[in-house]
């Protein structure tokens, strides 16, 4: 299905804004088939001792390895300036890490609205 190597993808987002990250998984130029798989993604501090929140993982095209990670504005507001995340395949008897990385959080709009 896919290699056991964990891919690294670092990104930035703005606090107090929604964030969507579309992803496509391939192995040797062949799309990964996620039919029947359960994917999850969590955001933690570096030591993995404090969990901040979960990404919503939406598989948009399972047969072609397409999915989207999403956070809403309430979740991005609660994140520290730097956080760490993992995307895991929890299917079958083993949990496999598919993607990991850092999230740099910058200030977005002010918390008050007119």
Strand ranges (E), the chain: 7-8, 11-14, 19-24, 26-27, 30-31, 39-44, 51-54, 56-61, 66-71, 82-89, 96-106
Which band of pLDDT confidence, cut at 50, 70 and 90, is reported for residue 2? very low
Please state whether beta strands 26-27 and 19-24 pair in parallel, antiparallel, or not at all (unpaired): unpaired
77: DSSP letter: H
Residues 15-73: pLDDT tens digits? 999 999 999 999 899 999 999 999 999 999 999 999 999 999 999 999 999 999 999 99
Task: Output phi, psi for 102, to 5 deg.
Answer: -110, 155
Per-residue pLDDT, 109: 67
Q: Tell the burial category of 32 from Cβ atoms under 10 Å away from its Cβ (0-12, 13-18, 19+).
A: buried
The whole-angstrom separation of Cα 6 and Cα 18 is 26
Per-residue pLDDT, 1: 45
């Amino acid at each position: 299905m896919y290699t056991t190597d964990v891919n690294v993808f670092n990104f930035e987002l703005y606090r107090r804004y929604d964030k969507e990250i579309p992803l496509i998984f391939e192995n040797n130029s062949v799309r990964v088939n996620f039919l029947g798989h359960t994917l999850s993604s969590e955001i933690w501090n570096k030591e993995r001792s404090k969990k901040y929140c979960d990404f919503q993982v939406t598989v948009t095209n399972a047969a072609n390895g397409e999915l989207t990670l999403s956070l809403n504005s309430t979740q991005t507001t609660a994140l520290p300036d730097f956080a760490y995340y993992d995307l895991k395949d929890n299917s079958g008897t083993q949990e496999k890490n598919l993607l990991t990385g850092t999230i740099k959080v910058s200030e977005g709009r002010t918390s008050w609205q007119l």
